[in-house]
Chains A and B, each alone.
Chain A
Amino acid sequence: MNDAPLATRSAVLPASARATRRRRFDDEIAFKYLMLGPAILWIVGLTFYPLAEVIRYSFANYVLGRGVTGYVGFDNYASVMQSAEFWHSVVITIIYVAVTVPIEVILGFLLAWVVNLGAPGTKLFRALITSPLFTMEVAIGYLGITLFSSQGGLVTWLLGQVGISVPWLSTAIGGLSAAMILEVWRWTPFVFLLALAALSAVPQEIYDAAVLDCESHWQAMRHIGIPLAWPVMSVAILLRLIEGFKAFGLPFAITSGGPGTSTQLFSIYDYLTTIQFFDFGHGSAMGIVVLAMISVLITIFFRQMRRRIA
């Protein structure tokens, strides 16, 4: 941990001391810690310290302009736990994740299976369906308004042609659905890429055997593709769950959390509490509660999955 200052010191050593410096640099132990040191210091300083601060603030009475005026024990937690808005945001977030992640997993796997077949034209197709993954979520949400708008929106118009009318952006369910559709659009390529990596690592002989043993394509996919890709898919699901709980830009851009506060995901609610109302005590307590919930969910989920594999 003390190696970073040492590096600064050695950089300003006079020329006569360079030989010493070189010897020290040759020394593997110094070298490896010098290389690792800055990253460790950075993470400790900018992750652990803030996390410790969040815990402190969660017990504090914070007043804008005066800072922490005192500590209130678990009062912040109590009022967060009793807040209907908070629980609403948690439920909305869980729905958001529970709907989008399974769809992404299924679509991503199917597309990976198709691409892994290597039909002519696949390369271009692969690059094409990967592209949403790099789009700016806020911009996609913004574009989503023009897709789902009741006036001039493409989706509204297309559905109108077949006589269906959906109040996309004026209702909570409509707005949330629009956000979830685009969320699936944005993140399916993530699962796709991981699933593809898993499927392409399967030895050709196994596919050869599949041709002989399986009656149909579906069977080959069910009996070979899914089991062999499962370990990687479980990693993909885990990462998507973690990322899903962080969803912010896309839903916020398309619904602004509205109408009213009906589509406020947790991240949006926490953001507004903290940055718009500067209620740091409650914002922090909320963060800790959600972090605890996510950790528990992910631990349970991971245990279940490991059991299924074994």
Chain B
Amino acid sequence: MQNVLWLRARPRSKAMIYLVMLLASAWVLVPFLWAILNSIKTLEETFQSGAIIPFLQFQPTLDSWHQVLTDSGVLHALLSSVVVSGGATILVLAIGVPAAYSLARFEFPMASRDITLWFLSQRVLPPAIVLVPFYLMMVYFHLIDTWTGLIISYSTFSLAFAVVIMRDVFRDVSKEVEEAAKVEGATAWQIFVLIALPLSIDGIVVTAINVFAFGWNEALFASAFTSRHAQTLASFILASRGTRDIDFNLAAVNTLIAIGPPVVLSFFFQRYLARGLSFGAVKG
């Protein structure tokens, strides 16, 4: 919707605003474009920074893409990332959504607000601090370098987030339908599964994306707990950075594969993003 401030703005102000938008777009796009550009160059061409127009200044090639996508190390890391982020998402939703519903609908001896605050306080804890006990727990249960170990770790860090957001989403869903169902004799479980869940699907999707993106992008635990078998893309990239000089063209392809999925997902689900990010402190 157009704001009245825009409609009444002077032409000069309007031009200024478009200039700001143009600069901001360029600022955001440059790293993406740079990665795409390098990904279709050969290694030698990546050192000619000035060559930015494909076909005219250099001959584009998909060799780097081919090389990366046939590298079993990368493919395995990609698989690990999908399994670990997906697994954590499912686990967090399975535990967190019922808890959120319970907090949204029922009274507790301890005020629901306090429980929520308590969930929130988990957020302040820097992951680096619980690294030691988590590491020892993983060793104790033989979960080092396993998908399960990472799924458990990521679920722990995302659970608080999911509970707080979903509680808010459930609060926004009208209670009247649920009351009506109750009068018809539906059980609490039926009301939750058949009415509350379908009505909150938007919120669930956005929560899922956030949890997925967290697992996908996390590097600290991934690097600490995995070495080969369960190495995710994030720890794969971090590890390859240390071992040898960087081939710009391959680095570009790795980057694009690594940042692609969550970014594309986020493009489709702009709703609820602000609320998700602020732990429900902001209605978006």
Q: Which A residues contact B (CB, under 8 angstroms)?
A: 22, 25-26, 28, 31-36, 38-40, 42-43, 46-47, 49-51, 53-54, 57, 110-111, 114, 116-119, 121-122, 125-140, 142-147, 149, 151-154, 156-157, 182, 185, 190, 193-194, 196-198, 201, 204, 207-208, 210-211, 217, 220, 232, 235-236, 239, 242, 245-246, 248-249, 252-253, 256, 266-267, 270-271, 274-275, 280, 283-284, 287-288, 290-291, 294-295, 298
Contact = CB atoms under 8 A, between A and B. Distances in A.
B171 interface: no
Name the prevailing secondary structure of the B interface residues. helix
Nearest to A157: B49
Please indicate which of the listed interface residues B6, B122, B251, B267 has the most CB atoms of chain A within 10 Å of its own CB. Answer: B6
B102 A217 contact: no
Contact of B130 (A50, A193, A235): A50
A198 B278 CA distance: 11
Interface string B104-141: 01101000000000010011111111111111110000
Nearest to B35: A143
Interface residues of B, number: 106
Contacts of B255: 139-140, 142-143
16 contacts: A33-B102, A42-B95, A47-B125, A53-B133, A117-B3, A122-B21, A128-B28, A131-B28, A135-B263, A139-B234, A142-B255, A196-B284, A197-B278, A235-B281, A249-B220, A287-B132
Given A242-B123, A249-B234, A193 B277 contact: yes
Given A142-B241, A143-B255, 19 more contacts: A32-B105, A35-B101, A39-B98, A50-B137, A118-B2, A119-B2, A126-B270, A131-B266, A133-B266, A135-B262, A136-B262, A137-B219, A139-B258, A146-B34, A197-B275, A217-B5, A274-B135, A290-B126, A291-B124
Contact of B28 (A28, A46, A116, A129): A129
Contacts of B129: 51, 54, 270, 284, 287-288, 290-291
A170 to B, nearest CB: 14
A119 B17 contact: yes
Contact of A42 (B3, B103, B156, B220): B156
Q: Which 9 A-B pairs have the closest CB atoms?
A: A287-B129, A157-B49, A39-B99, A50-B133, A53-B133, A35-B102, A249-B219, A197-B274, A139-B258
Interface stretch (B8-16, B54-62, B67-75, B172-180): B8-16
A258 B136 CA distance: 28
A163 B255 CA distance: 30
Contacts of A51: 125, 129-130, 133
A268 to B, nearest CB: 9
Given A50-B133, A253-B238, A271-B131, A152 B48 contact: yes
A146 B156 contact: no
Contacts of A145: 241, 246, 251
A154 B270 CA distance: 31
B262 A31 contact: no
Contact of A271 (B46, B224, B241, B273): B224
B126 A245 contact: yes
Given A40-B99, A217-B9, A294-B124, A28 B130 contact: no
A51 B213 CA distance: 25
B155 interface: yes
Contacts of B136: 53, 280
A267 B126 contact: yes
B98 A129 contact: no
Contacts of A185: 27-28, 31
